[in-house]
Amino acid sequence: MDCDPPFDVHSWTSSTSSAPDASIDQVKGLKYWNSISSDVNGMLGGFPETSRIDLIGSSTFLAKLRRGKLGQPKDPLPKLARVADCGAGIGRITKGLLLKAADVVDVVEPVKKFTDKLIEELKDEEKSKDKGRLGEIVNLGLQDWTPEVGAYNVIWNQWCLGHLNDTQLVAYLRRCKDGLVAPSPASETDNTSFQGSWIVVKENVSKGGRNQDIYDDEDSSVTRSDDKFRRIFKEAGLRIVDTKLQSGFPKDLFPVRMYALRPE
């Protein structure tokens, strides 16, 4: 099956037996990831060389979001208070992006051997004054995780949402919406007290036409179309405040799109 059936946003029984996301088997997905090496090569499916350009693209995207609030492009950005790296693997993004941007980074990742690797690596690293620290480590799939209400400036989701079916993804994103720091009335006049809050989704998108989601039997995940992501965000009560295609990746890979989301 290479084409999703028509998607009815009012009826979230979309996981019919013929929809690609109906084939997602989270037990099978975890079995796959537990067999993968705890290194960047494992995380990036044999394309470790894409990590650097990925992190540069993410860093630029996040900085633009944050500067949107704070005028002068050259001002150093203050640290965000607390962020989450979701489906974090060995913490490639935690180490390469989030610890530089935030005081505390919580990590959500179902495969314990990956988070053990991250903890071990950070123990060996020298403490640096301008780096944040690891907060909670949660070994759960995102379908089972509920962010603390009002806790996060950024909830970063990259290359892991294909393990949730459409219904689970909408429910998860609704919980993330509640997990974002809300602007206080005072922050309307005082720019410094509210640093902004966003859900970021950075995922492969299928190249096909409308509605073309692709099931991958190897890791039991789906690659969604841009169109499907947009409908899912809408259903979750989120609006896209910025979106960008990652540039500089090998042409034979799926396009990778970043979305910054806020409550509607």
CB atoms within 10 A of CB 45: 13
Q: Which of 19, 107, 134, 160 binds ligand SAH (CB under 6 A)?
A: 160
Nearer to ligand SAH, 3 or 122 (CB): 122
Contact of 153 with 195, CB cutoff 8 Å: yes
Q: Where are the alpha helices (DSSP H) in the chain?
A: 26-34, 40-43, 50-67, 92-93, 99-101, 112-124, 166-179, 226-235
Q: Which of 95, 131, 163, 231 binds ligand SAH (CB under 6 A)?
A: 163
Please, what is the minimum distance in Å from the beta carbon of residue 82 to ligand SAH? 18
Task: Confirm or reject binding of residue 109 to ligand SAH (CB under 6 A).
Answer: yes
Q: Which of 20, 50, 83, 89 binds ligand SAH (CB under 6 A)?
A: 89
Q: Are strands 154-158 and 198-204 parallel, antiparallel or unpaired?
A: parallel
Residue 107 Cα to chain centre, angstroms: 11
Site string for ligand SAH, 25-54 (x = CB under 6 A): -x--xx--x---------x-----------
Q: What is the C-alpha to C-alpha distance for residues 170 and 12, in angstroms, rounded to an integer?
A: 9
User: 221 - beta bridge partners?
Assistant: 216
Please, what is the minimum distance in Å from the beta carbon of residue 152 to ligand SAH? 16
Nearer to ligand SAH, 155 or 160 (CB): 160
Please, what is the minimum distance in Å from the beta carbon of residue 131 to ligand SAH? 18
Q: What is the C-alpha to C-alpha distance for residues 60 and 242, in angstroms, rounded to an integer?
A: 12
Task: Confirm or reject binding of residue 198 to ligand SAH (CB under 6 A).
Answer: no
Task: Confirm or reject binding of residue 159 to ligand SAH (CB under 6 A).
Answer: yes
Total residues at interface with ligand SAH (CB under 6 A): 21
Task: Confirm or reject binding of residue 162 to ligand SAH (CB under 6 A).
Answer: no
SS3 call for 105: strand
Q: Which of 38, 58, 115, 158 binds ligand SAH (CB under 6 A)?
A: 158
Cβ partners under 8 Å of residue 97, min gap 6: 55, 58, 59, 62, 156
Nearer to ligand SAH, 153 or 221 (CB): 221
CA nearest neighbour of 7 among 207, 243, 245, 213: 213
Task: Confirm or reject binding of residue 259 to ligand SAH (CB under 6 A).
Answer: no
Residue 114 one-letter amino acid: F
Q: Which of 102, 142, 205, 258 binds ligand SAH (CB under 6 A)?
A: 142
Task: Confirm or reject binding of residue 93 to ligand SAH (CB under 6 A).
Answer: yes
Q: What is the C-alpha to C-alpha distance for residues 165 and 32, in angstroms, rounded to an integer?
A: 17
Task: Confirm or reject binding of residue 154 to ligand SAH (CB under 6 A).
Answer: no
Whether the CA torsion 90, 93, 98, 100 is positive or negative: it is positive
Task: Confirm or reject binding of residue 256 to ligand SAH (CB under 6 A).
Answer: no
Residues near ligand SAH, by CB under 6 A: 26, 29-30, 33, 43, 87-89, 92-93, 109-111, 114, 141-143, 158-160, 163
